[in-house]
Amino acid sequence: MRLYEFQAKRIFAEHGVPTPAGTLVTSPSQVAGLPLPCMLKAQVPVGGRGKAGGVRAVHTAEQATQALADLLQMRIRGHRVRAVLAEEVAEVRREMYLAVLLDSRANAPLVMACAAGGVEIEEFARANPEQVLKLAVDPLLGLQGYQLRHLAKFLKLQDVAGLGEVVRRLYGILLSLDASLVEVNPLAETPAGLVALDGKMVLDDRARFRHEKLFAALAEEQAPLHAGDRSEAERLAREYGLTYVELDGDIAMIADGAGTGMLTLDLIRDEGGRPANFCEMGGQANAEYARRAMEVVLANPRARAVLITLIGGLTRMDEIAAGIAAYVEAHGLAVPVAIRMCGTQEAAGKAILKAIGLDTYDDMTAAVRAAVAMAKV
């Protein structure tokens, strides 16, 4: 579950991470209760608000009224703005980037930091890898003092204790709430100390059973804010219980596990392609999961090719192939498909796919290159 900024910041505050005082508003008529001057920030579950004009500084009630009216009519990357977070203005000396996340490759926590705040971290890291620090955290030992001192030195911060406290609290949120990402972008240095000016959190849906009340409360808050914004693919994925995140590319992706999926996303980008989604079926998927996954990713009209990557430890390849075949037999294929298949019952799976005219690849990179080429035709 991806949280809105106001939800993430509330959790931050509950765990002792400093944030600006803020109020959520849904109408220009609520301007009378706002602290002025203030920052008005459109609440949407995607990034890029600043570039889209979704963040405004206002100093008077008249400015706030007009800005709220404008913001509440906006769409940002397809999402209608239905709420705005009004926050007190912080005295910012400088901004940094800080995040605690799960490293899918190492299957362990990772701290990421950058001395430049408010940047698109993925693009920035590709262009300036030496300016992004990544600290692997041993899950048994936790954060160590030397790591926090190294982090403070990298960020050129004198307040080692203050930074350490913020990082430890963010790390605690990651562990206690089963989050996959806890991000502050930017983290501001102010006269009063470090303050989280923005907040992003993603909770692991597979851990919902451990946090039923929290998930239910967050979902209830989100429902009126994104009503009508879900695409058909997102609606189907929710109905079918599939892990699906829509992206802005044209290569639909299905993987048989989260790790394989994250690797596939990286490989698509490395080969010059743009993924249309992230979709993983889970390590013990069956034919029905595969059929549903095909239906979901192909409900996205931007999909120009489908890439299916299967490693197949616990998953049987003949089951997955049967599900793909069931979809093709029922709906046909409007776009080309590249499939990398290996693992349990691999030969049987490949035979099923060959019978419906689909070839498979043994090498993942070759399959990715084929999918990227298919999408460009």
The question of whether 183 is a catalytic residue gets the answer yes
Residue 66 phi/psi, 5° resolution?
Answer: -65, -40
Q: Measured on CA atoms in the order 71, 77, 78, 79, is the torsion positive or negative?
A: negative
Integer Cα distance of 372 and 377 in angstroms: 9
User: Tokens representing 176?
Assistant: 């206690």
Q: Which of 183, 280, 295, 346 is catalytic?
A: 183
Cβ-Cβ contacts under 8 Å for 288 (sequence gap 6 or more): 323
H helices, E strands: number in the chain: 12, 18
Integer Cα distance of 134 and 11 in angstroms: 24
Which bin fits 282, alpha (ψ -120 to 50), beta or left (φ > 0)?
left
The question of whether 122 is a catalytic residue gets the answer no
Q: Which of 97, 289, 327, 361 is catalytic?
A: 97
User: Tokens representing 190?
Assistant: 């102010």
Integer Cα distance of 344 and 307 in angstroms: 20
Cα separation values, 218 from 208, 214, 222, Å: 12, 6, 6
Catalytic residue ranges: 97, 183
